[in-house]
Chain A
């Protein structure tokens, strides 16, 4: 029985402690307050691509609760309450997300900057990652320009319908799983064709996503196209952070939740109750802010040059 042993080396555990220290120093120097919020909540996200872990009823009277998939909603409620710039290193949980670069329980560094947009936040993410990994400089690629370069299509401008995306996916990926909608096909092309081209590109921000992939970001107009004001940060082709110029309008958020639940119904997934406390907090409008979530385990794996997250997590999912 060797499974009692940690999956990470002692060197990796030391590096993790140093990294956490580094993050705290970075934010303390910038006047960003460290906070802690609940890991177990009465509601969870509506996002159809995220499957929360449930905490069973303690008693028939106690409704089921959920392990957080990110600390976002509680942190936004703190911002609505006037706390200012905040950060948190939190455990997040996502059912079924297991693999070389995924562990169903993982560490997220999430932070919010008031009065900033996603462009300003990208700079700060670039500075933090550059500091930790000892690298300088980064590239910023609009989603459409990147697709244009790698696949020869502009998914925002051209007449791209599902049939065309499917034909493109069939020729570039080979077999295409059935039942993918337009965004599913774009995700397939992104993960199978586009991301591999970022492997030698160092730190890369992909930004200005299709409006259908806005998640909780606001929609803005860039050169005549409506795009989602969000970004994903890749290091050597590995996605490490996901940031938004946050949607502050509660009505737009409510519409988003309803649309997510419609997709859930269509896919035969359980619907998730909209988080009424978040909607109430955003009722008067969330203060203008940008926020980002960064995978601490992946950043550490990149820093140590190891290929799997289990090598930087004390006890990975299979040993926990």
Chain B
């Protein structure tokens, strides 16, 4: 991989730091009136998700990380790995529990996910912002209670539990915002 100098650092650039792949979030150039210039850089460690703040001398460089984002279709899990497929080449990728992380509760077959590949293997799985899922379990709603805007828990086909309005019933499909885990609307059947 090529090296990148501090003046090439920009948001989204993937670099290696302390042996870990990172994505640059912010790069601030600071320089006293005369003298040594520095770059104060915020990076997200792509493995742990943790944000690091580091200071570099301007002109220092970091090795680029072999990281790329691809869109893959979720196939199935055997309990140990989660399998994704490239819909154009049919190539399969297996993601471990660390890579899937919290996204596990939003995994639906044939749905497309953004997979971050590091040296060719999945490092992180990001769900689409909105996803349609079927309700497998919820208490029956009470008629006439809709005006108060009350809510109740509902378990979805993926195992995720979200709060839904009282008029939503078991077997219905709903649209959920995966970033907040909140109910958005009834999903249109198709």
Q: List A residues at the B interface (Cβ < 8 Å).
A: 47, 49, 96-102, 173-177, 179-180, 183-184, 186-188, 190-192, 195, 213, 215, 232, 239, 241-242
Contact = CB atoms under 8 A, between A and B. Distances in A.
A98 B58 CA distance: 11
A215 B56 contact: no
Interface of B: 7, 27-38, 40, 53-60
Given A102-B29, A174-B53, A175-B54, A96 B35 contact: no
Nearest to A232: B33
Nearest to B5: A96
17 contacts: A47-B34, A49-B36, A49-B37, A96-B59, A99-B27, A99-B30, A173-B55, A177-B38, A177-B55, A183-B36, A187-B36, A188-B55, A190-B32, A191-B32, A192-B55, A232-B34, A239-B32
Contacts of A241: 33
A184 B31 contact: no
Given A102-B29, A188-B38, A242-B34, A180 B7 contact: no
Q: What are the 9 tightest A-B residue pairs by CB atom distance, in nearest-first order?
A: A99-B29, A187-B36, A242-B33, A187-B35, A232-B33, A184-B36, A96-B7, A177-B57, A191-B30
B172 to A, nearest CB: 43
A177 B33 contact: no
B30 A179 contact: no
A186 B35 CA distance: 9
Given A96-B37, A177-B55, A242-B34, 16 more contacts: A49-B34, A49-B37, A99-B28, A100-B28, A101-B29, A174-B55, A175-B55, A179-B57, A184-B35, A184-B57, A187-B38, A188-B36, A190-B35, A192-B40, A195-B32, A239-B32
A129 B28 CA distance: 26
A97 B37 CA distance: 9
B55 A102 contact: no
Contacts of A242: 33-34
Given A49-B37, A96-B58, A177-B60, A187 B53 contact: no
